[in-house]
């Protein structure tokens, strides 16, 4: 299937078949399962090599028939790339096993509130924080996310500072949140100390 598709794309630089035959080839390409699989890198290389093989003047523009032939091929390659990206993200953002935990501000920032969304992924647990009314960390400080177990052991899940334009806060845990159910956010100084400070600004648990 890969060789057929490569030959189909590369033929854009060679002899053009009649319009009806080209349409049949396009329908056949789009109807194959292999078209929607991840394309091997050599497909694009072959297409570029075939087009570059023509010894044409720089000013020469492709004919209307050639533009009609190249457009479906380019569209097919673009669709394959889009499908591949969406499929790669689906495992994280469409998981039916997600858990949402409400988190609230402590006495340090009582007006802060939000939630943590937890999803299991192949490399650990994806944790997205949606936080409101927590001020940006001052220069020289930062926020750090933690998961804690009932024995008082904490594991860092990442850092952020909230300075600049609002963006999603994405953290990762290498330990199972079921074993470390509490989520904390602490304010830390840039002093090289990896331990959690006592300035807990938000916390929550199921």
SS3 state at 165: coil
Q: Which fold has domain 99-204?
A: Immunoglobulin-like (2.60.40)
Domain limits, CATH 2.60.40.200, in the chain: 99-204
Query: Of 82, 76, 84, which is closest to residue 9 (Cα–Cα)?
Result: 76
Output the six-digit token pair for 31: 């109807």
pLDDT at 45: 61
| pLDDT > 70? residue 28 | no
- The arithmetic mean of pLDDT across residues 124-138, rounded, is 97
- Exposure b/e, 79-111, CB count within 10 A at least 16 = b: ebeeeeeeeeeeebeeeeeebebebebeeebee
pLDDT at 54: 52
pLDDT at 166: 84
Question: Which range is least confidently modeled, 44-53, 80-89, 112-121, 176-185?
Answer: 80-89
- The arithmetic mean of pLDDT across residues 80-109, rounded, is 67
Q: Mean pLDDT, the chain, as a whole number?
A: 76
| pLDDT > 90? residue 148 | yes
Question: What's the CA gap between 186 and 184, in Å, rounded?
Answer: 6
Question: Which range is least confidently modeled, 20-34, 36-50, 103-117?
Answer: 36-50
40 pLDDT band, cuts 50/70/90, is: low
| pLDDT > 70? residue 41 | no
| pLDDT > 80? residue 187 | yes
> CB of 142 within 8 A of CB of 192?
no
pLDDT at 137: 97
- The arithmetic mean of pLDDT across residues 97-111, rounded, is 96
Which whole-number Å values give the CA distances from 69 to 15, 139, 157, in the listed order? 11, 56, 51
Query: Of 147, 154, 141, 155, which is closest to residue 129 (Cα–Cα)?
Result: 147
> CB of 34 within 8 A of CB of 2?
yes
pLDDT at 97: 79
pTM, full prediction: 0.56
| pLDDT > 80? residue 70 | no
- CA 40 to chain CA centroid, Å, is 20
Higher local confidence (pLDDT), 32 or 54: 32
pLDDT at 86: 41
61 pLDDT band, cuts 50/70/90, is: low
């Amino acid at each position: 299937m890969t060789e057929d598709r490569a030959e189909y794309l590369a033929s854009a630089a060679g002899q053009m078949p009649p319009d009806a035959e080209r349409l049949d080839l396009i329908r056949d390409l789009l109807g194959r399962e292999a078209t929607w699989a991840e394309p091997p890198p050599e497909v694009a290389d072959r297409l570029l090599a075939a087009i570059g093989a023509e010894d044409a003047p720089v000013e020469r523009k492709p004919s209307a028939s050639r533009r009609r032939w190249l457009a479906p091929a380019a569209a097919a390659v673009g669709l394959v790339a889009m499908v591949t990206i969406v499929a790669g993200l689906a495992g994280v953002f469409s998981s039916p096993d997600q858990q949402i935990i409400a988190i609230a501000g402590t006495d340090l920032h009582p007006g802060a509130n939000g939630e943590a969304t937890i999803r299991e992924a192949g490399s650990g647990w994806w944790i997205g924080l949606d936080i409101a009314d927590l001020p940006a960390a001052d220069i020289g400080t930062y926020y750090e996310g933690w998961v804690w177990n009932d024995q008082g052991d904490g594991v860092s899940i990442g850092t952020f500072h909230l300075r600049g334009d609002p963006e999603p806060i994405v953290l990762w845990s290498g330990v199972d949140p079921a074993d470390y159910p509490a989520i904390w956010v602490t304010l830390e100084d840039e002093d090289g100390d990896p331990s959690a400070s006592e300035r807990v600004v938000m916390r929550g648990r199921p």
